[in-house]
Chain A
Amino acid sequence: MELNTLWFILIGVLYTGYLVLEGFDFGVGILLPFLGKNDTQRRMIINTVGPHWDGNEVWLITAGGATFAAFPHWYATMFSGFYLPLFIILIALIIRGVAFEFRSKDNHPFWRSFWDWGIFFGSLIPALLWGVAFANLIRGVPIDANMNYVGGFWNLLNPYALLGGLLSLTGFMLHGAIFLALKTTGRLHDNARNAAMRIWLPAILILMVFTVFTYFETDVLIKLGVNPGVIPIAAVLCGLVTGWFIRQKRDGWAFTLNALAIVFSSATLFLILFPRVMISSLNPAWSLTIQNSASAPYTLKVMTIVAAIFVPIVLLYQGWTYWVFRKRISERLEDLHY
């Protein structure tokens, strides 16, 4: 395979991994004020993602770094173009990360509730804005002949992108609720499953509306055709089956299926995008592609060797941590490290 295509796929995999993994810890953060009725419950909720959130976030940092290395123009255009939304995401991620670490290190109720809200908004805002950003990516944004974004801030908040934001928001909330059901016991577990049941319907409806919208707002018809193929259909199907598993009280299966729904949705997005990386709404010829935005072959070759060696190693040890912490969270306070 040509290296440019390989790196497009690899970056797609990194963003997808990020959405699947950080997706559930965003969801857990958003559900914190709704499901955590008292301080112990809130600590339990936070501790379900405690060992994982930081490692999950590194998927984003790696995706960003890989974009920079393999497609410098993509990185430059997207990051300078989506300037204010990225700034807001950064602030949210900063406050959220610190909040996880700080909130239980002081007993004062105001301190704890301050950081709990930090976790809530720090999860809610990126969960919404990533959807907005990715929807804009496939819809196309004003990019001029010099590869610069010339659209301003409000241009990014079009109805289609906002719907994309709602989709990622509800999808991640569902993901988080199922994860909580999987990791907790007793009353918290029941409440989490109920929440999952309630979020599932709006999430799947939004997914369907967004899918229909996509036919009008993007060039998916030209790219994939009326029948978009296996992957987009699998995304919707997995979303549907998730609901069935939630009702069957099969938390593990529900989580797997919802993760797959996110994987296939994200894969669809990159399918629509390919071989472009940023679509110009002004002139198709001004779009950034895997050719005109890429690094020289030598850099791609070096990066390919590094990735081939280290990506499997990372997957192994990160997977192992999920195995170590596979048990449900207990209520014993000395076990709650956050």
Chain B
Amino acid sequence: MNPTPLAQWQFAITSVYHFFFVPLTLGLSVLVAIMETLYVRTGRDLYKRMTKFWGKLFLINFAMGVVTGIVQEFQFGMNWSEYSRFVGNIFGAPLAIEALLAFFLESTFLGLWIFGWDKLSKKMHLAAIWLVAFGSNLSALWILIANSFMQQPTGYAIENGQAVMTSFWALVANPHVWVQFPHTVLSGFTTGAFFVMGISVYQLLRKKEPEFFNRSFELANVFGVISVLLVILVGHSQGQHMVRVQPMKMAAAEALWQSEDPASFSLFTIGDEKNLDDVFAIRIPRVLSLLAYNRLDGEVKGIRDLQAEYETLYGPGNYVPSVFTAYWSFRIMVGSGFLMLFLSAWTLFRMMRGLPVVVGKYFKFFPLAILLPYAANTTGWLLTEMGRQPWVVFGLMKTADAVSPTVSFGHILTTLIGFTLVYGLLMGADLYLLAKHAKAGPEIQTPTRTVNDQAYWE
């Protein structure tokens, strides 16, 4: 049996799972660092308790992100050895740099942060969490430099059937990186903000620790509104970039079967992927041109024309990704994004008017809104990766040619089942712990230490 789909499933499952934890790490690390900064600057116990409470939830999540990340690095070699041989010259470098620059930084200083409360000076301890936040977000940069090469290869030459790096600068300065990286990191910030907002509202509805959770909510709200606004703006640039470098992905995301000028935006489409045609569609004229070029006309290429174009360019084959996945991923992502913007702007508006932020039934759903960034993050990656198919490296290598030739169907099935079972079990444990500690709320008071307990440098 053909092992490629199984290997793809494994990559999808392990990556999506890994990316449940990463965005929260990106965002919550920064939020916890801000809280500790407030503590160090004001000396208020409230901020110390906030740092510890949200820090604990951060750690529970962080561990999951770390361990599932190891799989990510290993599975390129395990399941995709032909891919690794083909792109190793280029793709391996950012991975190695990510480990050297970012993973060492975040893991080492996280250890210092967890265990160093009484061993480091206040400022040193604060520096540790900022370095963790910096390290996590720096790791995002390097892995996205690697991923961007798969989306839009730059700075390479093909020698003896291998892609060879010709310019490290071109790899790093790949324009794709500089729309994808801010979009991803800001999504992480948004995830952190909605996580804190959701749990805060949950506790406020239970009338628990109002000062603590109001302050947490306010902080996260301001952080969230800025982040989500920027996510949407950068996302818009990213979409325009996609029209230029990966038009097929955009055409699939819009279920645009034929090229249009001016191009219409699909409000709702039921498509027939076999015949590349609409079954039922509601489209708004000119809006896709507007999105693509910031003006009311301009050609956006359709799936059929691109298919024909790619056949002459790359030879016969099917160059159409799953339109269903791309189309609905795009809509869920964008929809969640705007819903988050609306929610956070609304509460910010109330806050700035001095109105009570959490009132009655309107806010009952806020804890549920924690799911919105997760929906957007997941569908965002589904669109990015599945919308690129059949390519693993756009224009250079097809996914079907990338799998390990010696790894059998049975092997992949074994590991697929193994990872799924273990990941399922760990997800249960993770959610249980998060819920337990989120419900329990902050510790009443940080234990006061006697003079004798203090370290000499304090």
Contact = CB atoms under 8 A, between A and B. Distances in A.
Interface of A: 47, 50-52, 54-55, 57-58, 60-62, 64-73, 75-81, 83-84, 86-87, 90-91, 93-95, 97-98, 100-102, 105-106, 146-150, 295-296, 298-299, 302-303, 306-307, 310-311, 314, 317-318, 321, 324-325, 334-335, 337-338
Nearest to B83: A76
Given A69-B95, A94-B71, 20 more contacts: A51-B112, A54-B107, A62-B100, A65-B97, A68-B77, A68-B91, A72-B88, A76-B84, A79-B74, A84-B414, A93-B67, A94-B422, A98-B63, A98-B430, A100-B63, A295-B89, A306-B97, A317-B104, A324-B116, A337-B117
B100 A148 contact: no
A87 B416 CA distance: 10
Contact of A97 (B63, B89, B159): B63
Nearest to A122: B67
Interface in B15-60: 56, 59-60
Which 3 A-B residue pairings sit nearest by Cβ, starting from the closest? A72-B88, A79-B77, A69-B92
B81 to A, nearest CB: 4
B385 interface: no
Given A90-B70, A302-B93, A76 B114 contact: no
A295 B111 contact: no
Contacts of B419: 91
A102 B429 contact: yes
17 contacts: A54-B107, A55-B111, A62-B104, A71-B88, A72-B92, A75-B76, A80-B406, A86-B74, A86-B78, A94-B71, A101-B63, A296-B164, A299-B90, A314-B104, A324-B112, A324-B119, A337-B117
Interface residues of B, number: 75
Contact of A52 (B56, B92, B111): B111
Contacts of A73: 85, 88
A51 B162 CA distance: 41
Given A79-B74, A102-B60, A148-B405, A91 B99 contact: no
Contacts of A75: 76-77, 84, 88, 92
B89 A51 contact: no
A293 to B, nearest CB: 9
Contact of B100 (A98, A105, A314): A314
Contacts of A84: 411, 414-415
A93 B426 CA distance: 13
B108 A55 contact: yes
A64 B92 CA distance: 9
B43 to A, nearest CB: 21
B77 A78 contact: yes
A80 B92 contact: no
A97 B96 contact: no
Contact of B89 (A296, A307, A314, A325): A296
Nearest to A151: B406
Nearest to A54: B107
Contacts of B422: 91, 94-95
A325 B109 CA distance: 12
Given A76-B81, A101-B60, A105-B437, A94 B92 contact: no
Contacts of B84: 68, 72, 75-76, 79
Given A80-B78, A100-B63, A303 B96 contact: yes
Contacts of A65: 73, 92, 95-100
B103 interface: yes
Nearest to A82: B78
Contacts of A146: 405
Interface of B: 56, 59-60, 62-64, 66-71, 73-74, 76-79, 81-82, 84-85, 87-93, 95-101, 103-105, 107-112, 114-120, 159, 162, 164-166, 168, 404-407, 411, 414-415, 418-419, 422, 426, 429-430, 433, 436-437, 447
A74 B261 CA distance: 50
Given A295-B88, A325-B119, A317 B108 contact: yes
B110 A54 contact: yes
Given A68-B96, A324-B116, A54 B111 contact: yes
Contacts of A64: 73-74, 77, 99
A307 B96 CA distance: 10
A317 B447 CA distance: 30
A76 B426 CA distance: 29
A47 B82 CA distance: 42
Contact of B96 (A62, A76, A101, A325): A62
A308 B447 CA distance: 45
Given A50-B114, A61-B103, A318 B88 contact: no
Nearest to B415: A87
Contacts of A61: 69-70, 73, 99, 103
B107 A83 contact: no
A226 to B, nearest CB: 37
Contacts of B82: 76
A72 B87 CA distance: 8
Contact of B433 (A68, A81, A106): A106
Nearest to B447: A334
Contacts of A62: 96, 99-100, 103-104
A12 to B, nearest CB: 15
Given A65-B73, A69-B95, A325-B115, A105 B60 contact: yes
Nearest to A307: B100
Contacts of B108: 54-55, 58, 314, 317-318, 321
A52 B78 CA distance: 28
Contact of B59 (A86, A101, A325): A101
Contact of B411 (A79, A83, A90): A83
Contacts of A72: 84-85, 87-89, 92, 162
A42 to B, nearest CB: 17
Contacts of A307: 100
Nearest to A71: B88
A333 to B, nearest CB: 10
B107 A55 contact: yes
B165 A302 contact: yes
A105 B104 contact: no
A303 B171 CA distance: 13
A195 B81 CA distance: 43
Contacts of B71: 90, 94
B60 A299 contact: no
A98 B92 contact: no
B98 to A, nearest CB: 7
Contacts of B77: 64, 68, 75-76, 78-80
Contact of A298 (B64, B119, B166): B166
Contacts of B90: 299
B134 to A, nearest CB: 13
Contacts of B164: 295-296, 298-299
